[in-house]
Chains A and B, each alone.
Chain A
């Protein structure tokens, strides 16, 4: 089955700096790659996603890049703010034989933005 590896597990940056989180996936059939932010006591919140026919997508301070050949994708957060502190999860989605999709998640990155 699909396996998603995520690095680093913890990341500490100064406010205003950039943060980069990287993920690799194993199944070349995966075609949808969302990123989720999870704050304490809450469920994961979708912050950006990218589909396999796109190499890069940007939404204000957040961008995601996808390299299908190398099977890796990355999350870039620029001008980090204290409210960006949270756990970030990458995921890869693969179509299933019964229809629908299943998300396979990375192990998460605890991002801390320090003042």
Chain B
């Protein structure tokens, strides 16, 4: 059974640019959550998508957005990149996004903003 696939693995972008990250969840999983991991702030919740709808959102500025497609694949977009956006971006998939089912994380996309 394939795991959670995130692409690309590494990205280097310049301040002010925008970036799109992709996440393919485990087959059959309908919930995709995104997390930002940094040495200073740890793992922080960005948002969660379920059945193509953003169901929950963390405390991040509007520059961070996402979407989910009918096949449950999700994309995350960051516009007007800042140096502080450099982080490991992780997505986690779950069958329903409830505590009845665990979350499986991908290997992440390492974003470096220069």
CB within 8 Å of A: which residues of B?
4, 6, 31, 33, 35, 42-45, 48, 50, 55-56, 58, 90, 92, 96-99, 102-108
Q: Is the CB of A108 within 8 A of B90?
A: no
**Of residues 73 to 99 in A, which have CB atoms within 8 Å of B's CB atoms?**
89, 91, 93, 95-96, 98-99
Closest 4 CB pairs of A and B: A32-B99, A100-B97, A43-B105, A105-B43
**A99 vs B55: C-alpha distance in the bound complex, in angstroms?**
7
* Secondary structure of the B contact surface, majority rule: strand
Q: Is the CB of A99 within 8 A of B97?
A: yes
Q: With a CB–CB cut-off of 8 A, which chain A residues contact B99?
A: 31-32, 51, 93, 95, 101
A-B pairs with beta carbons under 8 A, tally: 68
Q: With a CB–CB cut-off of 8 A, which chain B residues contact A36?
A: 105
Q: Is the CB of A98 within 8 A of B56?
A: yes
Q: A40-74 vs B: 1/0 string, CB under 8 Å?
A: 01111110010100000000000000000000000
Q: Is the CB of A96 within 8 A of B105?
A: no
For residue B88, which residue of chain A has the nearest CB? A43
For residue A33, which residue of chain B has the nearest CB? B99
Q: Is the CB of A95 within 8 A of B98?
A: yes
Q: What are 25 contact pairs spanning A and B, CB under 8 A?
A: A32-B99, A36-B105, A41-B107, A42-B108, A43-B4, A43-B90, A44-B43, A44-B90, A46-B102, A46-B103, A46-B104, A49-B102, A93-B99, A95-B98, A98-B55, A99-B55, A99-B98, A101-B97, A102-B45, A102-B56, A102-B58, A103-B33, A103-B43, A103-B45, A105-B44
